[in-house]
Amino acid sequence: MFFKVLTVAALVLVMLQSIDSFKGHYPTGKNRPCCVETTKRNVSSQIVGNTYSRQRSRSHCVEAILFNTAKGIICVDPKASWIPARIASMTEEG
Protein backbone atom coordinates (compact mmCIF):
# COMPACT_ATOMS: atom_id res chain seq x y z
CA MET A 1 0.00 0.00 0.00
CA PHE A 2 2.77 2.44 0.96
CA PHE A 3 4.60 1.64 -2.29
CA LYS A 4 1.47 2.49 -4.35
CA VAL A 5 1.03 5.82 -2.58
CA LEU A 6 4.70 6.63 -3.08
CA THR A 7 4.51 5.69 -6.77
CA VAL A 8 1.40 7.83 -7.34
CA ALA A 9 3.01 10.76 -5.52
CA ALA A 10 6.14 10.45 -7.66
CA LEU A 11 4.06 10.37 -10.86
CA VAL A 12 2.12 13.45 -9.80
CA LEU A 13 5.36 15.32 -9.12
CA VAL A 14 6.76 14.34 -12.53
CA MET A 15 3.55 15.49 -14.23
CA LEU A 16 3.59 18.83 -12.40
CA GLN A 17 7.22 19.38 -13.36
CA SER A 18 6.40 18.57 -17.00
CA ILE A 19 3.51 21.02 -17.03
CA ASP A 20 5.68 23.72 -15.48
CA SER A 21 8.37 23.23 -18.13
CA PHE A 22 5.84 23.94 -20.89
CA LYS A 23 5.01 27.37 -19.47
CA GLY A 24 8.26 28.94 -20.61
CA HIS A 25 9.66 31.92 -18.73
CA TYR A 26 11.96 34.82 -19.39
CA PRO A 27 15.06 34.66 -17.22
CA THR A 28 13.46 37.38 -15.07
CA GLY A 29 10.60 35.04 -14.22
CA LYS A 30 7.97 36.88 -16.29
CA ASN A 31 5.57 34.71 -18.24
CA ARG A 32 6.58 34.61 -21.87
CA PRO A 33 3.87 35.68 -24.34
CA CYS A 34 2.86 33.15 -26.96
CA CYS A 35 1.30 34.43 -30.17
CA VAL A 36 -0.55 31.73 -32.06
CA GLU A 37 -1.67 34.09 -34.81
CA THR A 38 -0.58 37.46 -36.18
CA THR A 39 -1.95 40.39 -38.11
CA LYS A 40 -0.40 42.20 -41.09
CA ARG A 41 -2.62 45.24 -40.46
CA ASN A 42 -0.75 48.46 -39.68
CA VAL A 43 -1.34 49.04 -35.97
CA SER A 44 1.21 51.87 -35.59
CA SER A 45 -1.38 54.25 -34.17
CA GLN A 46 -2.16 51.78 -31.37
CA ILE A 47 1.44 51.18 -30.25
CA VAL A 48 2.34 52.53 -26.81
CA GLY A 49 5.97 53.17 -25.90
CA ASN A 50 9.12 52.81 -27.95
CA THR A 51 9.95 49.12 -27.50
CA TYR A 52 9.09 45.88 -29.24
CA SER A 53 10.10 42.25 -28.92
CA ARG A 54 10.51 39.35 -31.29
CA GLN A 55 8.98 35.96 -30.76
CA ARG A 56 10.63 33.01 -32.43
CA SER A 57 8.44 30.12 -33.47
CA ARG A 58 8.35 27.36 -30.87
CA SER A 59 5.84 24.70 -30.03
CA HIS A 60 2.49 26.19 -31.08
CA CYS A 61 3.75 29.81 -30.96
CA VAL A 62 4.38 31.52 -34.31
CA GLU A 63 7.10 33.96 -35.32
CA ALA A 64 5.91 37.48 -34.47
CA ILE A 65 6.79 41.04 -33.58
CA LEU A 66 5.13 42.03 -30.29
CA PHE A 67 4.05 45.59 -29.54
CA ASN A 68 2.46 47.03 -26.41
CA THR A 69 -0.89 48.77 -26.86
CA ALA A 70 -3.33 50.29 -24.39
CA LYS A 71 -5.34 47.06 -24.64
CA GLY A 72 -2.35 44.73 -24.20
CA ILE A 73 0.15 42.99 -26.45
CA ILE A 74 -0.54 42.73 -30.17
CA CYS A 75 1.18 40.15 -32.36
CA VAL A 76 2.20 41.29 -35.84
CA ASP A 77 3.54 39.28 -38.76
CA PRO A 78 7.25 40.15 -39.04
CA LYS A 79 6.88 40.08 -42.84
CA ALA A 80 4.26 42.85 -42.85
CA SER A 81 5.42 45.61 -45.20
CA TRP A 82 5.26 48.39 -42.60
CA ILE A 83 7.34 46.62 -39.91
CA PRO A 84 10.92 47.54 -40.99
CA ALA A 85 10.20 51.28 -40.99
CA ARG A 86 8.34 51.13 -37.67
CA ILE A 87 10.90 49.14 -35.69
CA ALA A 88 13.84 51.14 -37.11
CA SER A 89 13.06 53.90 -34.61
CA MET A 90 12.32 51.55 -31.71
CA THR A 91 14.35 49.55 -29.18
CA GLU A 92 14.17 45.77 -29.14
CA GLU A 93 13.57 44.23 -25.73
CA GLY A 94 15.59 41.15 -24.91
CA dist 66 and 72 (Å) reads: 10
Write down the pTM of the prediction: 0.66
Q: Does domain 25-92 have CATH number 2.40.50.40?
A: yes
Tell me the domain boundaries of the chain: 25-92
- Coil/strand/helix, residue 14: helix
pLDDT in tens, 28-84: 445 678 999 999 999 999 999 999 999 999 888 999 999 999 999 999 999 999 999
Of 21 and 87, the one with more pLDDT? 87
**Residues 23 and 31: beta-carbon distance below 8 Å:** yes
